[in-house]
Amino acid sequence: MKAYQFLLFDADGTLLDFDRCEEKALRNTLTRYRIDDGEKTIHLYHQINADLWERFNLGEIDRAYLLHRRFGQLCEQLNRQEDPAQMNRDYMEQLSRHADLLEESAEICNILCQKYKLYIITNGASLTQHGRFAVCPLTPLFEDIFISEDMGVQKPQKAYFDAVAAAIPGFDPDRALVIGDSLSSDMQGANNAGLDCCWYNPQALPNLSGVCCTYEIRRLRELLALLP
Query: How many CA atoms lie within 13 Å of 213's alpha carbon, on the beta-carbon side?
Result: 20
Q: Which domain CATH number covers 109?
A: 3.40.50.1000
Spell out where 96-194 has E strands.
Answer: 117-122, 144-147, 176-180
- Annotated catalytic residues are 10
* Burial tier of 13 (Cβ tally within 10 Å: 0-12, 13-18, 19+): middle
Report how far apart, in Å, the C-alpha atoms of 146 and of each of 85, 93, 97, 187, 210 are: 25, 20, 19, 16, 26
Domain boundary among 59, 79, 95: 95
Mean pLDDT of 213-228: 95
Judgement on whether residues 106 and 193 belong to the same structural domain of the protein:
yes
Domain carrying residue 61: 19-95
State the pLDDT confidence band at 203, using cuts at 50, 70 and 90.
very high
pTM for this model (two decimals): 0.85
Residue 1: inside a domain: no
Please tell me whether residues 170 and 187 are part of one structural domain.
yes
What does the pLDDT look like over 3-15, one tens digit per residue?
Answer: 999 999 999 999 9
* Mean pLDDT on 129-139: 95
CB atoms within 10 A of CB 25: 20
Q: In terms of domains, do 124 and 196 share one?
A: yes
pLDDT for position 186: 97
For residues 75 and 137, state if they share a domain: no
For 164-167, the CB contacts below 8 A with 24+ separation are: 164/8, 164/119, 164/121, 165/193
- What total of structural domains would you count in the chain? 2
pLDDT at 1 (0 to 100): 67
Q: What is the pLDDT of the chain when averaged over all its residues?
A: 94
- Based on the fold, state whether residues 150 and 107 are members of the same structural domain: yes
Does 116 lie in the same domain as 64? no
Residue 11 sits in the same domain as residue 35: no
| DSSP H helices in 13-139 | 18-32, 39-57, 63-78, 84-95, 105-112, 126-135
pLDDT digits (tens, 9 = 90+) for 35-72: 999 999 999 999 999 999 889 878 899 888 998 899 99
Same domain, 133 and 169: yes
Residues 58 and 88 reside in one and the same domain: yes
* CATH code, 55: 1.10.150.240
